[in-house]
Chain A
């Protein structure tokens, strides 16, 4: 039991150390990022995930209204649906659910690609011809995936809010004008900024965690599978933890 706890603590420490190392090295390399590789990862992770992010936004927006709509009717607060739904979306459900979907799409893929590079010895190969694999391959991915997730987050918010309005129109017979009036009267820029800060934080977490998971991969096909699976799971854990840590701060800063 104690040994198991110790092993758990040790692997936790190792993980934290690896995360810190990747973060520090990426920040160090920020001025000298390989432009082409950065562009490639923004396109691959961002543009490639756009259809999925839009689909997720439509589902998230509509579901939030369906879930909250019953109560809006029950408490006679139908007119405030725009506010409640918009607030819940930007402050919590938008970043959280989008983050979880992106952990799958971008985190798993990033981890799988890095795991392949590592298992095939390509990272060592670069080092062999005295090129820094971190600067060339790893750092651009960390930055690229974080940028991609934040950018997708902002687009997603717009689409999700639009579908909230549409869902309110169909399910609560709430005119679009009323939805957006309560939306714009009672919500502030701070609410949007708060949501975007969360999205950015989740994006950075997903990119760091999946990079570490990918670089730690060992052995064949099973190793690649294990790396991408643990990237997804660790990203989810990181997202929920960050959500808990950031929310009190963000509600105070932007309310």
Chain B
């Protein structure tokens, strides 16, 4: 229980501090762009490949079951596309981003913390939160929806290619957007933005708190990725439940 409080409490406190720092110092545009490039370039390949593989796996599984019970897998195509766009892609993109961004951010900040560089920054009249956390927060909030679009496209494309070429059926059905409506898109984007905010905050909270030597850095990375992944699973669950209860 205390562990759970720590998982969500520390990032929440840091969120408040980052907002305060943004209000006081404004946003460092250059640092934010750098972080955006860093996040984009490092996560894009992992997420695109991961989601493409996942799309292929999902249609393979669906194919095997459909042959047994319904006979024709293409009838589930449009529903599959909606489910992918609204639920699966946001979940997997978030968990992958939690690993990639969470591990990178916490490793970097934890190394700075144990090397006393954060304190050196502070004595240089720099606000570590404004310098290090705010740009990462903004960049990640912007990057996650973009990564979600890439991931959804990759998983859809690979699913329809596998259906067309491996199973010899109409793969176009798996890109059929007839069921997709505004709430679906909203649900997906809300998840992406919330996870986009949570991941860097969870990672920075663990990274900045690292004390001691090299062992503390390893501990910080482990805890950060665990916090970020579990946090994204929980955010996903809560948003999915909220949309289900609202009936949209």
B64 within 8 Å of A (CB atoms): yes
The interface residues of chain B lying within 8 Å CB-to-CB of A184 are none
Tell whether, in the assembled complex, residue A225 and residue B226 are in contact, meaning their CB atoms are under 8 Å apart: no
The interface residues of chain B lying within 8 Å CB-to-CB of A151 are none
B99 within 8 Å of A (CB atoms): yes
**In-complex Cβ contact of B103 among A74, A220, A221, A228 (8 A):** A228
Complex interface bits, B87-101 against A, C-beta within 8 A gives 1, otherwise 0: 110011001101110
Tell whether, in the assembled complex, residue B61 and residue A236 are in contact, meaning their CB atoms are under 8 Å apart: no
Tell whether, in the assembled complex, residue A221 and residue B229 are in contact, meaning their CB atoms are under 8 Å apart: no
Tell whether, in the assembled complex, residue B57 and residue A229 are in contact, meaning their CB atoms are under 8 Å apart: no
Tell whether, in the assembled complex, residue B56 and residue A236 are in contact, meaning their CB atoms are under 8 Å apart: no
The interface residues of chain A lying within 8 Å CB-to-CB of B98 are 104
Tell whether, in the assembled complex, residue B237 and residue A233 are in contact, meaning their CB atoms are under 8 Å apart: no
- Shortest C-beta distance, B44 to chain A (Å), equals 13
DSSP class of A's interface residues: helix, strand, loop or mixed? helix
Instruction: Spot the interface stretch: B20-28, B47-55, B123-131, B141-149.
Output: B47-55
DSSP class of B's interface residues: helix, strand, loop or mixed? helix
The docked-state distance in angstroms from the alpha carbon of A111 to that of B107 is: 13
- Shortest C-beta distance, B177 to chain A (Å), equals 16
**In-complex Cβ contact of A115 among B56, B218, B233 (8 A):** B218
Tell whether, in the assembled complex, residue B240 and residue A105 are in contact, meaning their CB atoms are under 8 Å apart: no
The interface residues of chain B lying within 8 Å CB-to-CB of A226 are 107
The interface residues of chain B lying within 8 Å CB-to-CB of A233 are 46, 99-100, 103
A196 within 8 Å of B (CB atoms): no
- The total number of A-B Cβ pairs within 8 Å is 179
Q: Which residues in window 104-159 of A have CB below 8 A to B?
A: 104-105, 108-109, 111-113, 115-116, 119
The interface residues of chain A lying within 8 Å CB-to-CB of B176 are none
A39 within 8 Å of B (CB atoms): no
> How many residues on the B side are at the interface (Cβ–Cβ under 8 A)?
60
The interface residues of chain A lying within 8 Å CB-to-CB of B118 are none
**In-complex Cβ contact of B61 among A115, A220, A247 (8 A):** A247
The interface residues of chain B lying within 8 Å CB-to-CB of A115 are 214, 218
Tell whether, in the assembled complex, residue A251 and residue B61 are in contact, meaning their CB atoms are under 8 Å apart: yes
Instruction: Spot the interface stretch: A9-17, A18-26, A30-38, A58-66.
Output: A58-66
Ranked 5 nearest A-B pairs via Cβ: A112-B218, A225-B107, A104-B225, A229-B103, A67-B87
A interface with B by C-beta (< 8 Å): 51-52, 55-56, 59-60, 62-63, 66-71, 74-75, 87-88, 91-92, 96-97, 100-101, 103-105, 108-109, 111-113, 115-116, 119, 171, 220-230, 232-233, 235-237, 240-241, 243-244, 247-248, 251, 255
24 contacts between A and B (CB under 8 A): A51-B3, A55-B230, A56-B229, A56-B230, A62-B237, A96-B92, A108-B103, A108-B221, A109-B218, A109-B222, A112-B217, A116-B214, A221-B214, A224-B214, A225-B110, A225-B220, A225-B221, A228-B103, A232-B103, A237-B46, A240-B50, A247-B56, A247-B60, A248-B60
**Known contacts A100-B95, A101-B226; can you find 13 more A-B pairs with CB under 8 A?**
A59-B233, A59-B234, A63-B91, A67-B240, A104-B225, A104-B226, A108-B225, A112-B215, A224-B214, A224-B217, A225-B221, A228-B218, A230-B103
B interface with A by C-beta (< 8 Å): 3-4, 46, 49-50, 53-54, 56-58, 60-61, 63-65, 68, 79, 83, 86-88, 91-92, 95-96, 98-100, 102-104, 106-108, 110-111, 114-115, 213-222, 225-226, 228-230, 233-234, 236-237, 240-241, 244
